[in-house]
Amino acid sequence: MLEKLNNLDSRWMYLALVIVLVIPIIKPIGMSISVNKDLTQRMYDFIDSLPPGSLIMFDLASNSSSDTEITPMIYAVMEHMYQKGHKLLVAGQWSSGLAFWSPKIDERAREYGWVYGVDYVNIGYKAGGTSTWRAMGQDFWKGAMEVDINGTPFSELPIMQNIRKLDDKTIDCIVIFESGSPGMETWITYFPTIPLCKGSVAAEISSSVRYIPTGQLKGLIPGMRGAAEYEKLVNRPGIATQLMDAQSMSHLLVVALIALGNIAYFGTKRKMARGR
């Protein structure tokens, strides 16, 4: 029995995982969650403390593969901005995510009645690494090549008339949605005076939290769980909240498998020792 357990085919585990995930997606229970006071609550409080009409910049430093983690974060933060009356500037250090999230952001903006070029703008992907952002720190228009994602000149966009420099006088907060490098190091290193918040994929949480106590990060949304917490804070439950039950089941399965694997391992070891 123990040997059988030790040599269990991985494909049975794959099947168990799919079953465990599918059932709560179809029939969610709706368990409540608490809010992480050190990370999510801090970010919410910071954005909440900004005066209405503040300009928040989204940096989409991720690609579409992180859809399920990043999209609910973007929606939740946008909802908060809508409630507070903030304005939005979208940019991206990565080329791959912009094409994916831009239409989603446009769709939400339409729902809020935001006018493109007045309440929000998308300047698209800016290549050239840190040199580009630093150039925007000197002269935003020149550094960003004077056009938005659609090729519209900045001179035709009213919101851009006040955005002349990438600095703390113009941008009230940067929210980076990040799943790798280049990412928040660009802002921490070259623009330390602009308040920075982060929507982080779960795998990056461990290495990001060290920036919280020093104030280099004002707050952080930790993965899909964090997105669910932010949805709770802005009082608009979305996809992250609805998928939390399935997430619970999958984590329970992994913990059960770890326990089972250890029972099988130590059981076999003890049996072999007795046999000797």
Partner 1 sequence: MTAELQTWIGVIATLAIFSFLIKENPFYRFFEYTVIGMSAAHAVVMTWDNYTKPFWVNGVMKGEYYLLIPGAIAVLYYFRYAPPKYQWLYRYPLALIMGYNIGYSLAYDPRPFMTQIRGTFESLKDLNSFIYLVIFIGVVVYFIFTFGNKSAAVGKTRTFARYAMMMYFGVSFGNTVQGRFSLLLGRLLFLLQDWLGLVKLG
Partner 2 sequence: MRRNVPVILTTVTAVIVFFSIVLFKTADVWPGRFDRMQQFMAAVMMFMGMANMTRVHGNVVLKKDRNWIFSAWLLLVMYVYAIFGMSVGNTNDTYRWFYNAFIPPVNATMYSMVAFYLTSASYKAFRARTVDAALMMACAVWVMISNVPIGDKLWGSESWLGGMAGVRDWIVSIPNSAVSRGISVGSTLGAFATQLRILLGLERRHLGQG
Positions touching partner 2 (CB under 8 A) are 8, 10, 13-14, 17, 31-34, 36-38, 63-68, 96, 99-100, 103, 124, 127-129, 131-132, 134-135, 138-139, 143, 149-151, 202, 205-207, 209-210, 212-213, 223, 225, 244-245, 247-248, 250-255, 257-258, 260-262, 265
Rounded Cα gap, residues 159 and 39, in angstroms: 31
Residue 220 within binding range of partner 1, rule CB under 8 A: no
How many other CB atoms sit within 10 Å of the CB of residue 33?
14
Rounded Cα gap, residues 224 and 203, in angstroms: 11
77 closest CA partner among 162, 200, 212, 243? 200
Rounded Cα gap, residues 24 and 49, in angstroms: 37
Q: Within the chain, where are the H helices?
A: 2-6, 10-26, 40-49, 67-84, 95-112, 130-138, 140-143, 184-190, 205-208, 223-233, 239-275
Q: Which is nearer to partner 2, 79 or 229 (CB)?
A: 229
72 closest CA partner among 204, 212, 232? 232
Residue 2 within binding range of partner 1, rule CB under 8 A: no
Query: Judged by CB under 8 A, which of 95, 138, 181, 262 binds partner 1?
Result: 95
Q: Which is nearer to partner 1, 46 or 190 (CB)?
A: 190
In the DSSP assignment, the letter for residue 29 is: -
- Counting Cα atoms < 13 Å in the Cβ hemisphere of 205 gives 15
CB of 85 to partner 2, least distance (A): 28
In the DSSP assignment, the letter for residue 158 is: G
Helix axes 223-233, 40-49, angle to 10 degrees: 40
Question: In the window 119-158, what residues touch partner 1 (CB under 8 A)?
Answer: 123-128, 130-132, 142, 145-147, 149, 151
Residue 96 within binding range of partner 1, rule CB under 8 A: yes
Q: Which residue has the tokens 């399920």?
A: 68
Size of the site for partner 1 (CB under 8 A): 61
Q: Which is nearer to partner 1, 147 or 157 (CB)?
A: 147
CB of 255 to partner 2, least distance (A): 5
Question: In the window 235-274, what residues touch partner 1 (CB under 8 A)?
Answer: 238-239, 242-243, 246-247, 250-251, 254
Residue 196 within binding range of partner 1, rule CB under 8 A: no
160: Cα separation from own chain's centroid:
26
Q: Which is nearer to partner 2, 80 or 179 (CB)?
A: 179
Length of the chain: 276
CB of 171 to partner 2, least distance (A): 18
Q: Which is nearer to partner 1, 54 or 96 (CB)?
A: 96
Q: Which residue has the tokens 């919410």?
A: 44
57 closest CA partner among 182, 163, 201, 202? 163
Residues that bind partner 1 (CB under 8 A): 11, 14, 17-18, 21-22, 25-26, 65-69, 95-96, 98-99, 123-128, 130-132, 142, 145-147, 149, 151, 185, 188-190, 192, 201-203, 205-207, 210-211, 213-214, 216, 222-225, 238-239, 242-243, 246-247, 250-251, 254
